[in-house]
Structure 1
Amino acid sequence: MEHIKNPSIYKQPVILQSEDLTKYILETAVYPREPQPLKELRDATESHPWGFIATLPEAGPLITILLKLLNPKKTIEVGVFTGYSLLLTALNIPDDGKITAIDIDRKAYEVGLPVIKKAGVEHKIDFIESPALPILDKLLEDAANEGTFDFAYIDADKENYVNYHERLIKLVKVGGLLIYDNTLWGGCVAWPDEKVPPHSMPMRNAAIEFNKTITKDSRVEFALTSVGDGLSICRRVA
């Protein structure tokens, strides 16, 4: 997962559900079915100082179902962090499937790498340590890459979500899926400005702008869900 140097700016002010409801969801429908490698990676991430920015486990079952329905062989992930969503994808695509995984911080990726290797899916992953936009632009330099990816997962710097989308919509095929994480930003997208903590304002505003942009984008079918910290699920139709 791409991030900036100050962790406090990424701390969402609230959770979308009550703690009791979140606990119920996790204990009833997530943890009992969570694959052991994902549990191990989640445990390894908890001690990381940036651990709170990882993809929330309650998003895992929905993403898993979507992956199994889509059965993608060529995927891309923008923002990896320690690799929870990356491992989830790797576990749910065919053995000959490939993931282009882009993040600015290889050290964070290496926290989860032993678990990825143990799970036997490292061969599916091409990790690239870099800001994402130059890599996406390089892919688009070759017209043969357009429309060749089946699935994209984006959990990176929110201010660039619109920029990522404009590139990824060309790389993902018609009928493919793009999933963006943190698009409700702790629920504060619905708050009046005066109630939003100053450190949350940039990310909250970026999420609002992105959601408005996607709502108007006729190239995708779009569902804004309250799963985890908000998943925007887009299916390319044009």
Structure 2
Amino acid sequence: MKLTASTCALLVATQALGHYTFPSLIINGVTLPAWQSVRRTNNWEDRNPVTDVNNINLRCYTSQTNAKASTALVNAGSKIGFALNQSIYHKGVMNVYMAKVPQGTTAADWDGAGNVWFKVHEIGPITNGGSSISFPTDDMLRFEFDLPRALPSGQYLIRAEHIALQEAAQVNGAQFYLGCGQIEIAGGGNGNPGPLVAIPGVYDARDTSIHIDIYWPVPATYRNPGPAVWRG
């Protein structure tokens, strides 16, 4: 059957309905305009997830360093977060990573390559010894958390990812939805963030937190993939 242009457009739009992006930073309760301080991703229209943990798009869903945005000023210890373009449709977990921009460059010009990322926040499921599992990110439209006060001053990339696990029983079935913001920390401390990891590189497709059946048997416990959260 030959599909018309309008039918193809409808199929793409229908597929995108269940998918989501992270277009806006939230700073001390104020939601910034979409794609102002978050790099507009290659999937900003189709919203397709990353499913290959070794794909360069896992970093910021773009391999183009010219996917620039403005860099928002934030004080260390401030409340920060992300707003989504629509509520989270899939059951899964949230991780937030940051990476300090090297001296001599800016957040807008840096691609975040290398062992430079550390985790600052995560939202995992609520488990009950194998009798039930629930996901606090269900239907979430926004989330916020406090930046560590010990975070050193300077420019950073801040990256949110939601890992949808509804098809994770098969290898490469987990779906990664993500966005990278650009911030400059003022009034920072003397902390030493870590452990540092590379993205891609931090995950293995067979990690038991990524390759997992969340329906049966119901997981008795769960640990978000990646390093421990650095709290300063």
State the TM-score bracket (shorter-chain normalisation): under 0.3
TM-score by length of 1: 0.25
As a proportion of its length, which structure holds more strand?
Answer: 2
Q: TM-score, normalised by structure 2?
A: 0.25
> Highest Rg: 1 or 2?
2
